[in-house]
Structure 1
Amino acid sequence: MQMLISIIIFVVLVALLYMAMRNGLIGKKNQVANAEASIDVMLKKRFDLLPNLIETTKAYMKHEQTVLTELTALREKSHHLDTINKPQLDKQLSAAVSNFRVAVEAYPELKANDNTMLLMRSINETEEQLSAARRSFNAAVTRYNNAIEMFPSSLIANQMMLTTLPLFEIADTERINIDAARLFKQ
């Protein structure tokens, strides 16, 4: 009788441990989805700012028509955003917004315009929030990947057919310092 009770207790503990690990994996998977959705929200906010940015700066940046053309083209692409092209479009938009910032810093008369300054603050805030969302995503992916690769939860992860996810990374070209002089010569 004592042995039967011990076996039942052992089986219950194993079942509880299994459920806890399985629920933990599901929670981590959902955290990754939530973090990815946060990036989408910030990208949407960024894409929504671009039309206002373009309209406000058209009158002030005729000499920087290439920057506006690039921003407009990328804005149009954002309407057809899908999961596969999202990282590539995000990189292109980051470069275009960076070029815009350089142009604003180079032309004091543009900086003096209140609308442009308000938009620049909004863009900076959005970029900071997007950066925070990317860091949050990478943290969630790291926790998730650790959980599905570490024993004993890896056994349950294999049973659930969970696979590791890639971190959100920037392109190698974005890792180098921006050469502002070269940008203005183009």
Structure 2
Amino acid sequence: MAYDPKPDNNIIAVRTSGFSKFIVYISFLLTLTITLWLYIGTKNKFKRLEQDINETASGIDVQLQRRFDALQKLVETTRSAMNYEKSTLESIVALRTTGKINPKDFSEYEALTSSAIRGVNLSLERYPELRANENVKELQKAIVDCEDNIAAARRFYNTNIRRFNSSIQTWPAVVAASNLRLETKMFFEASERSRQDVKMDLGF
């Protein structure tokens, strides 16, 4: 004999306890609140990281300015004896007159100033009396000191860049980064010419 179940067509009103409703509603609100809190927290984190990058970029710019100032003084000190041409600094001055250097121009600027330093240094080789001059020695020392400070500032800058780039590419932070249209930032790497040219012969 075939199985012939009888359907129950009675209308039943679905009811649940107020506690069950409370649990569902509170869970929804908590989930929404936590998600919003995480999203806002992530956005604030990105802002802090960008602020750290800007601060370290400013530190690099300060050291590049110090080196530029020392280089200018060195050129002025030695120009009368060496007949050093002012045009050597024209390309550097053009960048400097724009005010604060854009981080993407750091490498170019460092290469230009390093090249100018090398030009002065090579010229000094022909003037032993200038190499022995105390003012020249002090300015050369100042430039070398700036090189060390630039290297340290560059490490801090690149560390912050690395943290920022990693943060905006990892889930779930990448969702907020995408909504904010953020992009990875460029590292500051000294050019090969800069690495070769920054050595100063102090004449000791």
- What is the TM-score when the length of structure 2 is the normalising length? 0.70
Higher mean alpha-carbon deviation, 72-81 vs 148-157, is at 72-81
Quick check: 1:50–1:71 contact (8 Å CA) kept in 2?
A: no
In structure 2, what residue type is equivalent to 1:88? E
Quick check: 1:54–1:72 contact (8 Å CA) kept in 2?
A: no
Q: Which structure carries more helix by proportion?
A: 1
d(CA) in 2 for partners of 1:109, 1:53:
14
1:34 aligned onto 2:55: yes
Match of 2:164 in 1: 144
Correspondence list, 1:3-22, <5 A: 3-22=24-43
Correspondence list, 1:84-123, <5 A: 87-101=107-121, 108-123=128-143
1:134 aligned onto 2:154: yes
Change (3 A) 1:2 1:48: same
In structure 2, what residue type is equivalent to 1:132? A
Match of 2:74 in 1: 53
Higher mean alpha-carbon deviation, 33-42 vs 82-91, is at 82-91
Shift, 1:48, TM fit = 2.2
Change (3 A) 1:156 1:106: farther
Which of 146, 169, 173 is equivalent to 1:153?
Answer: 173
Shift, 1:116, TM fit = 0.9
Higher mean alpha-carbon deviation, 159-168 vs 71-80, is at 71-80
Shift, 1:11, TM fit = 2.1
Which of 16, 22, 46 is equivalent to 1:25?
Answer: 46
Gaps of 5+ in 1: 181-186
d(CA) in 1 for partners of 2:70, 2:144:
11
Shift, 1:109, TM fit = 3.5
SS of 1:149 mapped into structure 2: coil
SS of 2:190 mapped into structure 1: coil
Change (3 A) 1:93 1:8: same
Gaps of 5+ in 2: 1-21, 200-204
Quick check: 2:75–2:120 contact (8 Å CA) kept in 1?
A: no
Structure 1 outlier segments of 4+, above 6 Å: none
- What is the TM-score when the length of structure 1 is the normalising length? 0.76
Aligned length: 174
In structure 2, what residue type is equivalent to 1:17? L
Q: Which has the larger radius of gyration?
A: 2
1:73 aligned onto 2:71: no
Change (3 A) 1:28 1:79: closer
